[in-house]
Structure 1
Amino acid sequence: MSREPPPRRGDFLYFQTIATRWMDNDIYGHVNNVVYYSYFDTVIARYLMEEGGLDPWRGEVVGFAVESGCRYFRPLAFPDRVVAGLRVARLGNSSVVYEIGIFRNEEEEACAAGRFVHVFVDRRSERPVPLPAGLRRALARLRVGETASSGD
C-alpha cells in the first residue's frame, strides 16, 4: 500500500461508474491488481469517444499507450461499485498524461491512483501527430494545475 495520501474525489473533473464483477476478485478476495488497468482504460476511452470525438475503429488518429502505473491505497472487492475519476496532468502536442482516481462506492478517498500516458499517432504510419482540435479541446477541459503544458 502506498504511503502517499490518496487523492480525493474533488481532485478530478470527470467520473465514470464501473461495476465490479465476481471474476475480478483474486484468491485473496480483492480485485486483482491488473483489473485496475482496465478501469483506467475504460474511463479514458469513454471520455475520448464521448467528449473528444475519437473513433478508435475508423479514425485517422489513434492513441498508443506508452506508460502506465498504479499506486494502491486499499483494496476493492466484488460487489463494490467503482467510480473512476479522470483529469489531465499534462497536455502536449501529441501526448497526454492522465491521472485517474479509483473510488469505492461513495467514498471520498481513492482506493488507487493511476497514471496513464497516450501518444497520438497517425493510424497508417504509426508516427506521432498533433492532437486533432476537437480532442485537444475536450482534453483541455480536464487539465489541472500548472504542470499542464502545450509542448511535448
Structure 2
Amino acid sequence: MAAPIAPEPTAPWPTHRRFYIEYRYLDVLEHLNHAAYFGFMETLRCEYYLPLLSNSPPHLHPSQLDIIIAEASCRYFAPVLYGEEILGEVTVARPLGRTSFVLLYRFSRKGGKEVVARGRSVVVCYDYAKGEKKAIPEDRRRAMERHAVDPASEGW
C-alpha cells in the first residue's frame, strides 16, 4: 500500500482526487497504462467544471454540458505500479481565451512531492444545438480567473 497522500491540494490546484491503481489500469509492463491518465483527466475536468455551472442539477445529462475537448496531452515522468495511490490535481491556465481555456493536470505520489505525470487539455465552450463554439460565459470566466495560474510557474 502506498504512503498516505496529503488530503489538501497544494495551491493553486483547486480540484483534487486520489486515484488508487487497480489491476485493470495496468499495461503489459505492469505499470499504469498511459490511457488511464486520460480517464483520470476526464474525471478531474468534470469535477472542476461542473460546479462552475449555475444551477447545476445533481445528475447532469451530457447534452447539458457546453464544452468539448480540442486537444489533450500527457507527459510521463515515472512508472506507477499496482496498489499505489496517486494524487490528481487540476487547475486552469491563464490567459483564458474568448471561447477556450487550458486545463493543467498534475499527478503525484509521496504527499505531492514526486510528480509522476503532467497533463494538458484545451477545452472549448461549444453550443451543440448550433454546432459551433461560443464565448465562455462571464460567470464561469470570473470563477476560473480567480485561481488561474501562469503555466510557466507550474513547470509548463
Instruction: Tell me if TM exceeds 0.5.
Output: yes
C-alpha RMSD over aligned residues: 2.2
Distance 1:56 1:66, change over 3 A: farther
Aligned length: 137
What letter corresponds to residue 88 of structure 2 in structure 1?
A
What is the CA-CA distance between 1:134 and the residue it aligns to? 3.1
Report the equivalent of 1:88.
92
Which of the numbers 73, 82, 103 marks the counterpart of 2:108? 103
Residues 100 and 122, structure 2, Cα contact 8 Å, conserved in 1: yes
1:104–1:111 CA contact under 8 A, matched in 2: yes
Does residue 76 of structure 1 match 2:77? no
In structure 2, stretches of 5+ residues that fail to align are 1-8
Trace 1:35-46 onto structure 2 (pairs within 5 A). Answer: 35-46=36-47
Q: For residues 103-132 of structure 1, what are the alpha-carbon distances to aligned partners after superposition, in whole Å with 9 as ceiling and x for unaligned?
A: 125241310011111111112112111112
Query: TM-score if structure 1 supplies the norm length?
Result: 0.78
Answer yes or no: is the 8 Å Cα contact 2:69–2:124 preserved in 1: yes
Q: 2:21 touches 2:84 (CA, 8 Å); kept in 1?
A: yes
The answer to whether structure 1 residue 118 and structure 2 residue 123 are counterparts is yes
Counterpart among 62, 66, 69 of residue 65 in structure 1: 69
Which residue is equivalent to 1:24?
25
Segment drifting more, 105-114 vs 11-20 = 11-20
Q: How does 1:7-22 map to 2 (within 5 A)?
A: 10=10, 12-14=12-14, 15-22=16-23
TM-fit CA distance, 1:133: 2.9
Q: What is the aligned partner in structure 2 of residue 52 from structure 1? A: 52
8 Å CA contact 1:80, 1:105 repeated in 2: no
| Partner in structure 2 of residue 6 of structure 1 | none
**What amino acid is the match of 1:95?**
S
**Distance in structure 1 (CA, Å) of the matches to 2:24 and 2:38:** 15
Aligned in 2, Cα 1:24/1:105: closer, same or farther, shift over 3 Å?
farther
Q: Which residue of 2 aligns with 1:3?
A: none
TM-score by length of 2: 0.77
State the distance in 2 between where 1:119 and 1:26 align: 31
